[in-house]
Amino acid sequence: MKKSLLPILLLTALACAPGVGQAEKADRNKPMNIEADALRHDELKQTSVFTGRVVMTKGSIVLRGARLDVRQDADGYQYGVVTAEPGKRAFFRQKRDTVAGAPDEFIEGESEVIEYDGKADNVRFITRAELRRYRGSVLNDEITGAVIVYNNLTDVFTVDGQKAPASSAAAGDTPAPGGRVRAVLAPKDPPPGTAAPAKAPESPAPALRPSNTLGGGAK
């Protein structure tokens, strides 16, 4: 018997709070939209559990996974925990603010568990974590580690390279050797109109002088 899809949409307004950052600043005040196969909501505890092909969007933020636990505190801030299916990783994507005329930039991340903190406005990637930065469609930076925390307000990320449990390793996603952090960072393009540094003039090679004795001098 084919199971029918039960799309569920949750719209909740987030509390406004000041903050400046490189991530899309408007995302902080956008409503959270969640679609899943099933929902269990507890009004007393202000918690919701979404299961089955979960997709959450909040402005330019996209979160995907098998399960999403959402709670809201007394001040209206929301917190979400996305869990992937066994052997897979949950997915995160967010657009970054860029100057006019510059290519669009995006942050993408994957891990077995992704935690979103609406009050601190940060994202925590746990177990087999990977964070990537794209300029347009070009991959610029790539970071891997056991745990990665990305702060949307300050655009700062921290990486913990401690060795992940052996049970978390999956085919094709081997952690960095020795549990170390691994990073690939592309050089930053100079601002438009900036001239390339002048190349230093090459010094002429010293002229060779003939010598009439072996060793280059008299003994």
Residue 96's nearest CA partner among 49, 140, 147, 56 is 140
Predicted TM-score (pTM) of the model is: 0.68
Query: What would the pLDDT profile of 89-139 be if each residue is shown by its tens digit?
Result: 999 999 988 888 888 999 999 999 999 998 888 999 999 999 999 999 999
* Cβ(111)–Cβ(148) below 8 Å: yes
Give the E-state strand segments of the chain in sequence order. Answer: 10-12, 32-35, 38-42, 47-58, 61-72, 78-83, 90-96, 105-111, 113-117, 122-135, 138-151, 156-160, 182-185
Q: CB count, 10 Å around CB of 42? A: 10
Residue 52's nearest CA partner among 33, 63, 39, 41 is 39
pLDDT in tens, the chain (219 residues): 433 333 333 322 222 323 333 556 677 778 889 999 999 999 988 899 999 999 999 899 999 999 999 998 888 888 999 999 999 999 999 998 888 888 899 999 999 999 999 888 899 999 999 999 999 999 999 999 999 999 988 888 899 876 544 444 444 444 455 577 777 776 766 555 555 555 555 655 555 455 555 555 555
Distance of CA 146 to the CA centre of its chain: 13
Show the domains of the chain with their CATH numbers. 10-190 (2.60.450.10)
